[in-house]
Amino acid sequence: MIILIDLDGTLTNTAHSQYKEMKDGLAATELTKIPLIKGAKEFIETQKNKGNTPIIVSDSHPKYVNKIASEIFQIDYISLTDKPNPHKTLDFIENNSNLKELFADKDNFLMVGDSWLDIELGRRLNVRTVLTNFYVASEIEERDGIGQDWKPIKMGPTFYAKDFSELEHIINNPLENLLALESIFQGGNSTKAVNFKYQKYSNGFMAFRCLARQNDGECDKYARADKYYQIDNPNRTKEFLITLSKSAENYINQVLSFNNFKWDYFTYLTDKSTTTPPNKMKEIFDLVNVDIPKIQMFKWNENIDGNLRNRPDYKSRREFISKNLFFDKTINVKDKSVIILDDQFTSSATAYEISTQLRENGAKNILFIALFYLILPIESKACPKCGKALKIKIKKIDGNKFYSCLPPKFGGQGCGYTENIKE
């Protein structure tokens, strides 16, 4: 495996601005002043001994990167990469015959780093990515987004690692470390979820979790926008629904196995009367086999006007939900712990509104689970006819992906060119 790995904040504890002059090549790199992340050197040595090839991919100056790469880690490197621009990394791969041959199968590559720039670079390369959390930020670095919580997650990494032992486990057991829904469609049985939110109260907590990425634009092959769109397909199969529900079941049953507190109810975001296909979420909810009472707690206004998809921002979505979605107050949730299932996490408006209504009615612990979350868009391919950015679209009838230069009739400004994507 080729492990493309970030330097500052991933291998070395040098993401802080105090190292900027060295990283920019304006000051001599003194190796005695370069602190390593715990376990970094051992990790690199282990990977080399296993026959894997770690390569440092860094935006820093070659005088700085070269000295660290050659004298501390004894590995190759790419410097001044201008992340997330993929051109310099691609040139490096193209100019190495062995790497070029391996790149035909993107599973031979893994991009590892601590910022959204690393994850976007990996997505542009269509390789799997690992978002690391080895470095503790004391400030927010504007360009890299280090110190931010949501942006790196919203960029959509394939995996998450808190230390080098977790990173090694990902490399050795990738299917076990995919998100639960992504894993199950690859034949795996993961219970992993994206931890979007955890808020502690005096008498309980609220947590938001997501089981798969819904990609917009380039990504690794494991992201599952195709499966998200299949939920809306009137011809979706029972087998598909069973597989989908099993991923939620795997995650929820893991949660129920924790003995520190008891969960009381499992519910879901109810379908509107106009939903197509009818009872879209209810069919999935009914298939999830869990050992706590399953109950419908929410209902949409029968005379609802409009839908969430026409409201792009958090405020308007939250107002729409608050006006049209209601908790059944005949159900006693005082001091109860409730798990909620929904199909998608976009702006977090639905999760917050449902959680707020439950809290207002006395609920103690709230776990909101979305099957999919929408990750940030990426456009990295130009139309060969008009030069405009191509969008990746998905055919709802079969889930197949294609590039589209969206014409005006579909909300774009392109020429209408399309190109199928081979996976």
What pTM was computed for the model? 0.89
Burial tier of 422 (Cβ tally within 10 Å: 0-12, 13-18, 19+): exposed
Strand runs labelled E in 173-294: 194-201, 204-210, 213-214, 265-268
Q: Which residues have CB under 8 Å from 325's CB, separation 6+?
A: 269, 270, 298, 299, 300, 301, 353, 354, 357
Lowest-confidence pick of 46-50, 236-240, 324-328, 382-386: 382-386
Instruction: Decide: 77 and 44 in contact? Cβ < 8 Å.
Output: no
Diameter over CA atoms, the chain: 70
CATH of 2-172, one of 3.20.190.10, 3.40.30.10, 1.10.3720.10, 3.40.50.1000: 3.40.50.1000
Domains 2-172 and 381-423 agree in fold: no
Is residue 27 packed enough to be buried (19+ CB in 10 Å), middle (13-18) or exposed (0-12)? middle
Peptide bond into 277 cis (omega under 30): yes
Strands 365-374 and 337-345: parallel
Copy the structure tokens of residue 305.
Answer: 């006007």
Question: Are 158 and 178 in contact, with CB atoms under 8 Å apart?
Answer: yes
Average pLDDT in the chain? 90
What pLDDT sits at residue 92?
97
Q: What percent of the chain has a predicted confidence (pLDDT) above 90? A: 70
185 contacts 224 by C-beta, under 8 angstroms: yes
pLDDT band at 303 (very low <50, low <70, confident <90, very high): confident
194-373 maps to CATH 1.10.246: no
Where in the chain are the domains?
2-172, 194-373, 381-423
Minimum mean pLDDT range among 9-13, 15-19, 252-256: 15-19
Q: What is the pLDDT of residues 51-94, one digit of tens each?
A: 999 999 999 999 999 999 999 999 999 999 999 999 999 999 99
Q: Does a cis peptide bond (omega within 30 degrees of 0) precede residue 408?
A: no
Tokens of residue 21, six digits: 């002059």
Cα dist from 403 to 223, 383, 407, whole Å: 16, 9, 12
Rounded CA separation 1/14 (Å): 26
180 vs 210: CA distance, rounded Å: 9
Q: Which amino acid is at 391?
A: K
pLDDT of amino acid 137: 61
CATH code for the domain defined by 381-423: 2.20.25
Burial class (CB in 10 A: 0-12, 13-18, 19+), 141: middle
Q: Mean pLDDT over residues 253-259, rounded?
A: 92
CB 218 within 8 A of CB 378: yes
DSSP per residue, 244-274: HHHHHHHHHHHHHH--SS---EEEE-PPPTT
